[in-house]
Structure formats: C-alpha cells, structure tokens
Structure 1
Amino acid sequence: MTLDLTAPPTAPTTDAGLDCALAAWRLATGTYLRRLRGAWRTAHTEDADVTRLIAGIDPPGPPDPEDAEAFRGLARAAGTTGRLGLVAAALGLDDAAVLTVAAAWWADADPQFGVALGCCHDDGSRRYPTAALVRLLLAGLDVAAPAELAAADPLVHGGAVLPAPGPHAPLRLTTAARRYLSGAGPAGCPDVPGGAPHTLDPVLLAGLGRAVSGGGAVLVRGSGARAVALAGVRHAGRTPVEDATAGEYRFLSRLCAAVPVIDAEEAATLGWHPADGPLAAYGPAGGPGAAALPAMHVVDLPAVPVERRAAAWRAAFERYGLPAEVAAELAARFAFDEDEIADTMHRAFTRARVEGHPPGPDDVWHAARHRPGRELTRVATAVRPVFALDDLVVPAETRRQLDELVSHVRLAHQVLERWGFTAVLPRGRGVVALLYGPSGTGKTMAAEAVAHALGQDLYRVDLSAVVSKYIGETEKNLALAFDEAERAGAVLLFDECDALFGKRTEQRDAHDRWANLEVNYLLQRVETFAGLAVLATNKRTALDEAFLRRLRFAIRFDPPDAALRERLWRRAFPPGVPRAGVDPAALADAELAGGHIVQVALSAAFLAAASGDPVGPAHLTRAMRREYEKLGKSWVGGDGHG
C-alpha cells in the first residue's frame, strides 16, 4: 500500500487551527517515513533485515531547513488560530502540546491520518498517537515533547487529554475537548423541575450571576442550594455542567464554555485555582465554607418558609393523585426543597410498587424519613426507635408530659402556622426537652419512644466527634448536627448533655473564654432550632441557667416506687425464658431503677443458662448482690446459694 502524504484529508475541514496542525503532522510523518524508506533502501548486506532494523533506530539527522521552517510556521498557526488556538491560550500549551491535541483529534476524525500513524508504529492496528510516537516524530523537526503525559501535564491537568498509563498508551481527547473542538457545546445540566423557592428571588439570582460573570468561585449553602446554583449560572448567561472529571471542569471553565456546578465536598478536592475560572458549588447550611476554595463568595440561603414547603408538598401529592392531608405536617417536620420532595415522592411510589400495594401517605412518610443523608452520621449515631410510649413504665404524670411533648411536635404546623403563633414566636419554633433524673430511670428509652411516636429517627450526638481541641471546630460540628437534623426531620439526643450544656465559668484564661463561646453558640442555636432536641442528664443543676429558660419541657424521671418496680420485674423476662419460683412482688422490695432491673434479669438468665436450670431465686439473688456492689450499695440479702 502506498501512502500519499500530499492527499487532502478525507474528513471535512472543521477548524482552521486543526487544519494547520494536520498539515504540520503530514510534514512530520512524511519526514519520518521518508527517512526510514531511505535507510532501508541503502541496506545491501547479507543481513539486510538486521541492517534495515538498525537503520530505523538511528538518531534522525538535522531536518531540512525549509521543512523545519514550514513546520514551525504551521505549528505557530495551529496554536493561534481557531478553536485549537483558544484551547492553547486557555491551557498555556506549547507547540508540542498543541500538536498532541491535534493528533488525538485527527486520529479519530480522519481515517487516512490513522493509517499514517499505524505506518509510523509499524503496526497497522495502532492507528492512534502515543506520547512516545509524538516525541519521536517531533524530534525529527527539532521540537521537544515529553516522553509521557503525567497527571500534572497541562494537557491532562487542563482536561484536554485523558490520562495515559505510560509512553505507549493511546492518547485520547476528553469528551469535553472533543465536543469543543468539533464546535458542539458542552452537555449542560437539565433544568431542575419546578426549581426551588429561592429561584424566584431576582436579587439573589442577580448577585450570583454577577459573581459567576466575574470569574470567581461561588458557594451556595442551604436548602435547595443545588437548584439555586444552577439558576444563578443560567442567570449569568452561562451553561451549567455536572458529572465531569476535574480536568474537564477546568477545561470548560477556562475556555468559558460552561460553568461547573458541583457538591462543595467535591470542590474541596479539586485543587481549583482562581485562574481556572468560574465555578459554582453547593452544600448544606453550615457545611464547608470559604476555606474549601480560594477567593470563594459564600451565599447562605435563608430557610424556606414552612408555608412554601407545604405548598410544594401539596402540589406533589396532587401530581401523584394522592390526598394531601399530611402535606402540612411533612412540611413542618422535614426541611426539604422541591428537588428533595420530588425525589421523596418517586421513592415512595417505587417502594409501594416493589411491595405490591397502592401508594399512600405512609409510603411518602417512610421515604421522607429514610432519605439518604451522610452529613449527620459524621457527628451522631443513628438509633432506630423500637420502643413505644406504652413500653415505658413511668409515673402517670411523667407519661402525660411525654404525650404533651409528642403533641407539641406533631401539631406544630397547626398552632404555629394556622393559628398564627409564629407572629409572637419568631424564634424557638422547635422543641427542646430536658429529661433528667438518676441513672437507669428510662430517660434514653423515653427519648427513643418519643421518636417512635413521631415516626422520626433518633440520632444520638457523639460527643467524641463533636468536641474538638481546635478553636471553632466544636461550633462547626454542632452547626452540622442541628442543620442536618432540621433538614432530615430527625430527633437529636444529647445524652449526658451536661458535658456540652454546662454552666459558663469565670474567664481566667483563654481556655475558659473559648469554652464559654461554645456554650454561647449553643444558646443561640438551640433558640433557632426548628426540630426536636432531647437533652438527657443525671445532673440538672450542672446545666447553665440560660438553657433552662429555653426549654419547652423539663421532665423529671424519679426512681420507681414498689408498684412500678413490680411492673418492671414482670416485663424484665422475655416470654421464652424458663423460670421457677420467681416472685415479681418480692423482687420489687429491692430499690432498683428500671435499667438496673434489666441488668439483674440478664445476669440471672446467664447464670441459669450456665447451670442448666430455669431462672430461680438463687440466680436472681446472686445477680442482685453484684448489681448492688456495682452501685456501691450494701447488700443485706443472702449470698445467692441454696
């Protein structure tokens, strides 16, 4: 097969810069192949094949001056003309890099160029450029190129060429670069169905549009942040793009072809530089701040009013043909934007279809409660409520107060919104309840039962993950807990809350000052919290008085009397536990709280299982004596043998 290096390309002309680059490559490949042909023709020894092979790997001689001058002119024209020239300017490419981009383009666009590359490889199946081949071809015209393209190379870092593992791997253009060089626009993001309530605010959108047009990075935080970021980019007359690689984001932004719209967590890992161009990030309220990106403009969205959320829920129910009587309660309990509401309805219908029953409000509630959320689990542990209020063995007055607590949360939309109490209660819309009393009296179990009654998940705040020795980190972690609990409709439990909500002290040193600042932050955040927070402690007097003023409920859990202890003993053993001679009324004489009674029953069960007997008085006596010793009390009963 004879390769005609002067024939015009079979692919249509697309860009003046690419055309110049193709002419440069035709000159480079022709020079290389003619040199090989000349070397092979002069081999006339008996070992002709070996000589030809060796001749092919000889260093190239000096290029023809006219060819070199023509090549340099074509390379300069390629790097300054058309879309290829714009890519070169945006990414700061030298001649070798510009020609590498063009080689990757023409290998796909022109089959004849691919054939020429195969001949240069001496392998017809390798119709693509490699870093090694580019370096070899350009060396014949005194142009230096790298032996391979590392991740930091401008072509890879700038998103024009895909990473290539080694000098002999194919060099391919990224999707973004290929579309741009072909004259096609980037694959932008679809419109968000319905948008978010914030997208109706022209002042907000105008500010975002100016920030994007100025070429800076913008971070939008709060409910509906993604929809607002997309709308702000479009307001600037730019195309938003998602789901690309870091290099492609950089390519599109530097060329002003599109503006990346990404999660704030992803933004923090991009290594974005102000020279890379505009970028819009989004995240939850209280999430990563300006430190995530240099020169970032942060926009904190106001909370979406409950009435707007309720309207969005009603519209969603109407679209799916469901009764909307729970719309107001869903809006009050879950701070979802319209994107999240639409996704929740889709999940509800999917669940109903999988389980084979007609969809209903219960499916919607289940889907809302189980929306995936990774933020809250950083600082809190999820507790799936299994205990109900009827499982509690508490005095009647304590139970009444717990029922009232449930009503305050469940009926908040009616009292605050319909009856207008928001006018006199602009802050403190949420409910903060203190459960206090001695250890083992059922405070944590009650918190779980309240969450169960409300149909919400319970998250126990992990003090080890919240409290930090670094200044400001504790407040940041607490903000994350409160903000995500509001959004997800979760109940926050601060067990042993005196560790966080303790009294402020006189400032003797810097440590006291920062500790007091943490308490001050908590005082402010508790007052603006819109969900349910349960504080549990054995030491009520250790709490700061300012917290007590902000409590909606303060429910005391006293040690049970003899009647309650008997009820607790009757519930202490599951039905499958074999028993002999166990008298709950007699066991109730021991002054133990409910938690300790459960521990005694468990220990007695293990003793009985080890001896192969049913649980009896001897096992219970031994277990009770050990529980008393653990509590530091004197045991006056028997020794447990007999």
Structure 2
Amino acid sequence: MGLRQELSAFLTALEAAQDPPAFDGLAVPPLLLPSGESGRLDMLAEALGLSAFEQTVLALGLAQELFPIQTRTLAGAVMGWDGDVMAATLTPYACMQWLEDADPAAFVEDAPLFRSGTMRFGSGLTGDASMRTLSVAPGVLLFVQGLDGVDPDLSGVAAELENHATLSDSQSRLLEQGRKHLSRGPQERGVLLYGLHAEDMRALGGLLLSDYGRVLHVDVAALASRPAGDIGAAVQALGREGRLKNRCVLVDATRDIPEGQSLDNLTQQLLSEATGPVALMAPSPLPVSTTRALLPLEVLPPTPAEQRAQWAASLGVSEEQPLLVQLGDQFRLSLDRIGVLAREARLSLPGNASQAARAERAWDTARTANRRLMGTLAERVDARASWDDLILPPSEAGVLRQIAAHVRHRSQVYEQLGMARPGRGRALTALFSGPSGTGKTLSAEVLATDLNLDLYRIDLSSTVSKYIGETEKNLRRIFDAADKGGCILLFDEADSVFGKRGEVRDSNDRYANIQVNYLLQRLETFNGLAVLTTNLESSMDVAFMRRIHFVLNFRAPQPAERERLWRLAFPAALDTTDVDFGALAQADVSGGNIRSIAMNAVFMAVSRNENLSQELVTEALHLEYRKLGRLVL
C-alpha cells in the first residue's frame, strides 16, 4: 500500500474513533501508523529516534499536506472550530488533545522532529506557543513519497556531483592519502583540500567521498547569501540528506562570502551537521573549529606535460604539435576541462581537419572560455597593434622581444632543460615606467598580439578599497579567473599600491601593507605574464622591485622617432603630401599626443571639406598644446 493509501486509512481511523459533536478529549484508539514508500517513514523514525507519539504527529503533518480538507476538518472538530477549515490547522494543542500518550516535550525546539527540521513551527492565530501551526519540511514530504532529489531547502546551495573525474598523477597520490585517512574512521575524520584551483579540488573531493555514497557539493558563499532563517533550514536539510539518503558532503569555501558572515561559523555548522565523511575545500588551510580529524592536502593543478598529453589525446593529434606545448604551458585547466574544450573544438571543425588546425581551434576555444570567466572583472583591451606599430629604441624593443620569448619558451626552459627555480612559480612580471603617452600600454598590446593572448587592464587605483579585506577580495577574483590562462594582466598605476612604504603608525598603514603582501603573493604564483605600469619608477617599493623580472623605462621620443610616429599616425589611404613630417618632429610631444593630434587634424579636414595640410595639423598641434597647458606663440 502506498503512502497516500496508508494516510487515507489513518485519517479514516481517526475520524471513526471520535464523535465530533460530543468529543470531550477522549483518547483515540491505537492507530496503524503509515510506513511510507518502501518503508521510508520507518527509516526516518529510526534515523531521528522518534517516539510513537512523534511518529503520529509526523503522520498528521503528512496527512495535512496530502489531504488538507479532511485533516483540517478533523482538527477543527478537536479544537471546537467546526466548519472553519481555514482556521483549523495542526497545532501542538490539537495534537495534545487528540492523541494518546501525548508528550509536551515533543514540541520543544530541541526535540528530534524540530532539531532536524523535519517539522517546523509557523505563526499561530494567538501568541501561545501551543497554538503555533505545524508543517512538514518539503524535502521530508518528497522523501517519504520515494523521491530522492536534493532537498528543496538546499536549492542554489548544494548539487549532487558526478564522480567521473580524471586526476593527474599528483592528485591520484593525494586521493590515496585521503582514502587511507578516512578508512580509520570516516565518521570522525575529514579531509581539508586547499589550493588555488577549485575545479581540481572539487574533482578530487568528489572521488574521495564517492567511496561512501553519493556526494553533495555545498557552496558556502551561496549559503551565506541567504537570510538567517533560511541558513538554519539549509543546514538542517544537509543533516537529513546524510541520515536519510547516505549523502556525503563536500564543503566548498573557495568563494568570498558576504560581509558580516563568519566563514568559520558556517563551516563549523556544516561539518557538525554532516553525518558521514566530509571534505572541505578552501584557497588556504583554514583554521576550522571542529571535532573531526582533518587531514590537510594541497591540491596542485596538472603539470604542463600532463595537460599537453590530455590535449593531444582529446584532440587526436601528436604531442609534438608546437602549439600543444604552449597550450599545456599557458593554460591551467583540469584534465576533465581540457577534454570538454577539446571536444568543443573538434565539433566546430570538419572531420578531416589537420592536426595543426585542431590545435589552433583548441587554443581559440580555451581563450574564449577564459573570457567568460573574466567577465566584467577587468577591461579587455582590443589588442591589434603589431611590432611595426611600435616605435622604440633598439634596446627597449629588444627587452620587449625577450619578454615574449620568456612566455613562449618557458616550458622548454623550465621542464626540458631543468631551469625551474625550486619553490618558485612560473610567473613573469614586467614593470613599464615612464610618462603618459610614451607607449607603455601599446607595448602590452603588441605582446598580446604577438603571443595570441587576451589583454586585460586593471586599474589598481580603483581596485584598492578603503574597506578592510575588500581589496584582497577584488584581486582574488581577478587572479582566480586569469590563472586559468590565455591572458596578460595589465595593472595601471601600480604605484598606487606599490608606493614606498613608511613605518606602520596606525591600522590603515598595517592594512595597506597586507594589501601589498597579498598582491605580491598572487603575482608570484600567477601562471601568466603580468605587466605593471607607473609614471615614476623611483616611487616603487624596494621589496616589490626585487620580484620584477623585467623593467622597461619609456622615455619621450626623440625627433627621429617622432617623425616615424607622425608618419604612422595617419592611415595609408590618406594623402599626406602637404604635411611636413620633419617639421612636426621638432614638436616635443609623446606618441600618445601625436595620435591625438593626427585624429583631430583628420576630423578638421573632413568637417571643412579640405585636404589634409600642414596648416591643419599645426592647428591641431596648438589645440593639443592648450590641452597640455603649454604656451602657444
């Protein structure tokens, strides 16, 4: 007999046992309690330790959900509200009057029915505690009907993991360590996974816990965004998921939580409510307050060689493909993510596409995927400039080409030739200093074009927040997204953060130093190229300068360089025979000013329906002088 049939018979027995007009608190004869689909009510009662009275109260709550009119009619008879179906609802008072062996202790907040969130109190018609309404949690109602989906109270917070991840060699070794640790007592133990790559930690944690049952991935940031009452209901639902459905919990604390919430408090609640083995993932080893024995394991991403092998296997190409070396080196992706992107790349090409075409499409696919991650965290610069657009002295141009060579060949140098520095990352940091308009941003664009990478500009002066901890959060979001690869980070106004530090006089100085230290740490572990710009190199902190790999000082262009800049400033299709570039080169302006002057001169010519001439360019030059505050004679 199904749950509905059992509850219908249960209500019929209740109705037959009473004569509503003359009801005077007479006890109901013993009733046959429903057992639910496949005995799930019995399972729930055993898991929560419910008494016979509490089981009967729960049965009434379920009946109220499935047979609301009949149940309310009976409740109304008990409470003397015959005919008022809307007012008659299940309350502690009705249960105490209605049922045998009534136990008032069953309705306190810490009683099994309510501590687990199986039943809930609502507002009553009066202020009396005994008149509060009673209802069954939606997840419990679904469970006793045979449905095993994730509890509705966990919607948007938890999702079931598919445990078919592919791990790297180092991650497989961590998996074995975690299994050995949990095998000594999964109820009292757990694993703390930490690192900068949530996808790898999620894959490892899912596989580790899948030995003990289905795995729920719980997002602490999503939980923290809920109202306080909803947080409690979600934590209770998580406990029921473990007790009733044998689900293990992977607590994800990698994202920032809203201000005012305590990460330690939330993780402590989740870990204490979980009934089986747990895993916690975080960017760093969290000092969690828990009675469980947590084994800390640092999860590193697959090595460039492992990524390269996965790309080759998924694309069906040889590992000797030149672009595969850069794919494995430039991007930091999980092996499963590589498989997904490779399939996407292959599906977008004809079946007979060459190996080189597959590798090129995979590169573009990985870059596009990273753009989705970066979103609005930084401004993507439409980099189209090439080496021909750059006018620099040979020595400075040589430094730029050396930077490009480091990015392009670091895998060969670090891995194949064994030049990797022990304990140091693969980061590459360059500092571009010099006055505005001298080519700092243009040089970064040239590097991005040459390396086929996206360029993202971050204004450090706007990223720094006056609120404690917000600067680190802003930077963490940027670096976490950019670390997947495929981009160059351009930090404007680096001296706003890395300016020379004095002694710590107050809390503001102390937190400013924390911001600098955090940015230095992330720069050292960043997998790509970071370019920082400043108008004055001498203002930079010494500790920061020690971590810079390349320093490029941009000076104002000399006359010969300015003449080349003037010639490049006008499109080739424009007739410039009346322009004296040699004379213009004598004007002491930067390359950025020259481009602005050229643009204004062309607009003047078009608006006046005239040919471009020396007079128009000179007029535009004088306008630029006024903008710069210079005297025009």
The question of a shared fold, defined as TM-score above 0.5 by the shorter chain, is answered with yes
Corresponding position: 1:567 with 2:567: no
**Number of residues of Structure 1 aligned to a counterpart in Structure 2:** 555
Partner Cα distance (1:280, 1:554) in 2: 47
Aligned counterpart in structure 2 of residue 145 of structure 1, from 82, 90, 100: 90
Report if aligned partners of 1:502, 1:519 keep a CA contact under 8 Å in 2. no
1:548 CA drift (Å): 2.1
* Structure 1 match to 2:385: 387
- Within 5 A, what are the aligned runs for 1:527-566? 527-566=524-563
* Structure 2 match to 1:225: 201
What SS does structure 2 have at the residue aligned with 1:420?
A: coil
Q: Structure 1 residues 618 and 209 mapped into 2: Cα distance closer, same or farther (>3 Å)?
A: farther
1:216 CA drift (Å): 7.6
Partner Cα distance (2:535, 2:53) in 1: 67
- Within 5 A, what are the aligned runs for 1:427-506? 427-463=424-460, 466-506=463-503
Q: Residues 572-629 of structure 1, C-alpha deviation per residue, up to 9 Å, x if partnerless?
A: 1234557672333332221211111111112223333333334333332222112112
Partner Cα distance (1:161, 1:362) in 2: 58
1:289 CA drift (Å): 6.9
Report if aligned partners of 2:182, 2:190 keep a CA contact under 8 Å in 1. no
Q: Structure 1 residues 138 and 447 mapped into 2: Cα distance closer, same or farther (>3 Å)?
A: same
* Structure 2 match to 1:98: 58
- Within 5 A, what are the aligned runs for 1:207-606? 207=181, 213-214=187-188, 221-223=195-197, 224-235=200-211, 237-241=212-216, 249=238, 251-255=240-244, 257-261=246-250, 264=253, 273-274=269-270, 276-277=273-274, 285=283, 301-304=298-301, 306=303, 309-325=304-320, 326-352=323-349, 360-372=358-370, 376-377=374-375, 379-422=377-420, 424-463=421-460, 466-575=463-572, 581-606=578-603
Report if aligned partners of 1:388, 1:452 keep a CA contact under 8 Å in 2. yes
Q: Structure 1 residues 353 and 159 mapped into 2: Cα distance closer, same or farther (>3 Å)?
A: farther
Aligned amino acid, residue 498 of structure 2: F
1:228 CA drift (Å): 1.4
- Within 5 A, what are the aligned runs for 1:3-18? 9=1, 11=2
Q: Structure 1 residues 242 and 400 mapped into 2: Cα distance closer, same or farther (>3 Å)?
A: same
Q: Structure 1 residues 234 and 295 mapped into 2: Cα distance closer, same or farther (>3 Å)?
A: same
* Structure 2 match to 1:203: 177
What SS does structure 1 have at the residue aligned with 2:90?
A: coil
Identity %: 30
Q: Structure 1 residues 357 and 262 mapped into 2: Cα distance closer, same or farther (>3 Å)?
A: farther
TM-score where L is the length of structure 1: 0.72
Corresponding position: 1:628 with 2:625: yes
Any gaps of 5 or more consecutive residues in structure 1?
Answer: 1-8, 36-58, 105-127, 163-170, 637-642
Partner Cα distance (1:174, 1:544) in 2: 58
Aligned counterpart in structure 2 of residue 70 of structure 1, from 30, 36, 41: 30
Q: Structure 1 residues 145 and 281 mapped into 2: Cα distance closer, same or farther (>3 Å)?
A: farther
Partner Cα distance (2:168, 2:396) in 1: 43
1:511 CA drift (Å): 2.2
Partner Cα distance (1:232, 1:547) in 2: 40
1:539 CA drift (Å): 0.4
What SS does structure 2 have at the residue aligned with 1:317?
A: helix
1:268 CA drift (Å): 5.6
Partner Cα distance (2:437, 2:575) in 1: 25
* Structure 2 match to 1:52: none
Q: Structure 1 residues 194 and 510 mapped into 2: Cα distance closer, same or farther (>3 Å)?
A: closer
Aligned amino acid, residue 430 of structure 1: A
Q: Residues 425-447 of structure 1, C-alpha deviation per residue, up to 9 Å, x if partnerless?
A: 53153211111122101101111
Report if aligned partners of 1:264, 1:292 keep a CA contact under 8 Å in 2. no
Report if aligned partners of 1:285, 1:300 keep a CA contact under 8 Å in 2. no
Partner Cα distance (1:141, 1:536) in 2: 79
Q: Residues 89-130 of structure 1, C-alpha deviation per residue, up to 9 Å, x if partnerless?
A: 5999966862266449xxxxxxxxxxxxxxxxxxxxxxx836
Please say which of residues 266-275 and 602-611 is displaced more in the overlay: 266-275
Please say which of residues 508-517 and 297-306 is displaced more in the overlay: 297-306
Partner Cα distance (1:242, 1:490) in 2: 29
Partner Cα distance (2:496, 2:30) in 1: 78
* Structure 1 match to 2:82: none
Q: Residues 527-576 of structure 1, C-alpha deviation per residue, up to 9 Å, x if partnerless?
A: 44442111111100001122222221111222222222222122212345
Report if aligned partners of 1:605, 1:615 keep a CA contact under 8 Å in 2. yes
The structure that has the greater radius of gyration is 1
Aligned amino acid, residue 213 of structure 2: R
Any gaps of 5 or more consecutive residues in structure 2?
Answer: 80-87, 93-108, 121-134, 151-158, 224-233
Report if aligned partners of 1:194, 1:338 keep a CA contact under 8 Å in 2. yes
